[in-house]
Amino acid sequence: WFVGEYRLLDRHEHPGNVPLFTARHEPSGRVFSIVLLGSRRCDDPAIWSGIARRTSAAIAATDPVLSRTWSIEQADTTRFIVCEQVAGESLGRVLTRSGAMSPRVAGALGLRIARSIAARHAAGEVHGGLSLDAVRLPSGDGPADPDAARVLQYPLVGDPHLDPPRIPLESDEDLERLGTQASFVAPELTRPNAVCDPRSDVYAIGCVLHALLTGQVPGWRGEPRATLRQAAISG
């Protein structure tokens, strides 16, 4: 299956429930991640304006820790965003396999993550989807290398159609899809119509640091609804 000059190879889960593929650009042979956008949703001028703005901001991001967003393209009626293919495994899988990190490694990794998020804030943007699943480390059984960590950014986290970014919590499907990311959702984001802002990113950074030092997902109650309910009470 082709989209323009890109051959779609493997489909992957995306936290925003949009089609995400590994794709090869046939003229160059290079491999990318491709996020397909909803045609009907993009017909809404407000939604399309938000997608264009956030994509331009992501393309302009130069922090080396952040995944790269390369372009927004259209083939026939299909619009899509081309991103870097980030290798490695999620930080969640690393912690499940290896357990808590030493304070030295956790501090170095936490600082690297925090600086990448701060770079988005300095550019007037928010991340809006930081969790263990949004951080990648090289695959392997060796010790974690903080200097090799990458943070996935727009459009690889959250629903790319939402501007400003928010955490969809309206349906049972939304909650099930959220999974353990619920532990990284700031209490104020559990309120109706709440949107992500720099403060909710800072909350998520603190949760990531907790996980690095303990090897446990913070505040996890076994399922998303109970986790969010407890966060709302605590907040």
- Model confidence at 140, pLDDT cuts 50, 70, 90, reads confident
Question: What residue type is assigned to position 34 of the chain?
Answer: I
- At 76 the pLDDT is 94
- At 235 the pLDDT is 63
pLDDT tens digits, residue range 90-100? Answer: 999 999 999 99
| Residue 135 near residue 208, CB atoms below 8 Å | yes
The DSSP H or E segment spanning 18 is none
What is residue 218's DSSP assignment?
A: T
pLDDT tens digits, residue range 169-208? Answer: 989 999 999 999 999 999 999 998 899 999 999 999 999 9
Cα–Cα distance measured from residue 106 to residue 114, given in angstroms and rounded to the nearest whole number:
12
Cα–Cα distance measured from residue 80 to residue 125, given in angstroms and rounded to the nearest whole number:
21
pLDDT tens digits, residue range 34-64? Answer: 999 999 999 999 999 999 999 999 999 999 9
For residues 60 and 232, which has the higher predicted lDDT (pLDDT)? 60
60, two tokens: 């302009």
Cα–Cα distance measured from residue 230 to residue 219, given in angstroms and rounded to the nearest whole number:
8
pLDDT tens digits, residue range 65-117? Answer: 999 999 999 999 999 999 999 999 999 999 999 999 999 999 999 999 999 99
- At 170 the pLDDT is 87
pTM for this prediction: 0.94
Q: Is the pLDDT reported for residue 234 higher than 80?
A: no
The residue-averaged pLDDT of 217-235 equals 89
Cα–Cα distance measured from residue 213 to residue 47, given in angstroms and rounded to the nearest whole number:
39
